[in-house]
Amino acid sequence: MQFVEEIVVDEFLPTVRSLLAGELRERGLTQSEVAEVLGISQSAVSKYAHGDVTTNERIADDERVEGLVGELADGLAAGDVTPVQALIEIEVLVRDLETGGDLLAQLHEEAVPDLADHGASFRVHDPENDLRTSERVLSSLRRGLRILENASGFSTLIPAVGSNLVACTPDAADVDDVAGVPGRIFDVKGQTTVPSGPEFGVSEHVATVLLAARDHGADASAAINVRYDKNLLAELTEQGHTTAEFDESSDVASSVGAAIEDDPEATVLYQTGGMGIEPLIYVLGPDAESVADAVRSLI
């Protein structure tokens, strides 16, 4: 009898730690610093560096594993990601890879062949668990925020009221189901400043725009607001986005809904301002990383 958790401990973790140790060493960290970041001994780091730890090639070659290891190595080396945040993001990936038919589930079934013959739909872990769903949203949002923080020049796109990058759960019904940055993202002397980590229920304005767009048929799970500029709109259009204007001087949710109903393909919403209202552009997308990438391309 072998549980999937044993595969995680015996094969996944050694592989990821080996990859991460190597990536951190390539970024200039000493063995002592790598050991501290990963919470392991220096002798263990040395074993990883010399290939003395058995790794699983299928796990190492998985694009999602490679991508996450690279992102975490960048963040940990720069100090933008804490070991706890890295642990959470790895945990989220583990749960994704454990779902029926995915990599860890495949390895588990190969180790216990009778599982493959089991008549019921086999799922080791429920991917729809509310806690895991929320953590996936926060993980995506953290990655999107890192993209913005590391994008030289993003501060020039931040409006006077501040920006916020938000993302919601699949069945979001209200602002409590939308995560964002408490206090918004601000330009502080030319530096993009994210005051704290993302949380649910902290964004009202951008969350309202996202929810209203979704309620009226928009296929979006994330959004960001940036300053209005007709040249930015033109550039977004050139990149393949469909733009739609709405009137923020009236009820925002109703105005956004009307704009989406008029053009269901719209992925960029904007309003040109009014008395006491700053003109803004809202970029929508399937996840926080995609939205951040779209905005980064404007710089």
Nearest CA among 8, 10, 12 for reference residue 124: 8
Residues 251 and 285 in one domain: yes
116 has a pLDDT exceeding 60: no
125 has a pLDDT exceeding 60: no
Task: Give CA torsion, residues 72, 107, 169, 131, to 10 deg.
Answer: -90
| Residue 269: other Cβ atoms inside 10 A | 28
pTM: 0.64
Report the pLDDT value the prediction gives residue 122, as an integer from 0 to 100.
42
Residues 136 and 278 in one domain: yes
Residues 141 and 208 in one domain: yes
117 has a pLDDT exceeding 60: no
DSSP state of 277: B
Contacts of 271-277 with CB under 8 Å at 24 or more apart are 271/228, 271/245, 271/246, 271/247, 272/228, 272/245, 273/228, 273/248, 274/248, 274/249, 275/249, 277/248, 277/249
223 within domain boundaries: yes
| 114 CA to centre of own chain | 36
Over residues 220-246, mean pLDDT: 96
135 is written with which tokens? Answer: 């953590």
Residues 68 and 157 in one domain: no
Q: How confident is the model at residue 121 (pLDDT cuts 50, 70, 90)?
A: very low
Residues 281 and 138 in one domain: yes
List pLDDT tens digits, range 151-174: 889 999 999 999 999 999 999 999
Report the pLDDT value the prediction gives residue 112, as an integer from 0 to 100.
75
Please provide the average confidence, as pLDDT, over all residues in the chain: 88
125 within domain boundaries: no
Instruction: Print the domain residue range for 37.
Output: 4-115
Nearest CA among 144, 135, 87, 107 for reference residue 295: 144
Total number of domains constituting the chain: 2
28 within domain boundaries: yes
Q: How confident is the model at residue 106 (pLDDT cuts 50, 70, 90)?
A: confident
Report the pLDDT value the prediction gives residue 134, as an integer from 0 to 100.
83
201 has a pLDDT exceeding 60: yes
Cα–Cα dist 221/180, whole Å? 12
Residues 273 and 219 in one domain: yes
List pLDDT tens digits, range 250-293: 789 999 999 999 999 999 999 998 788 899 999 999 999 999 99
3-state secondary structure of 118: coil
Cα–Cα dist 33/13, whole Å? 19
- The CATH number of residue 228's host domain is 3.40.225.10
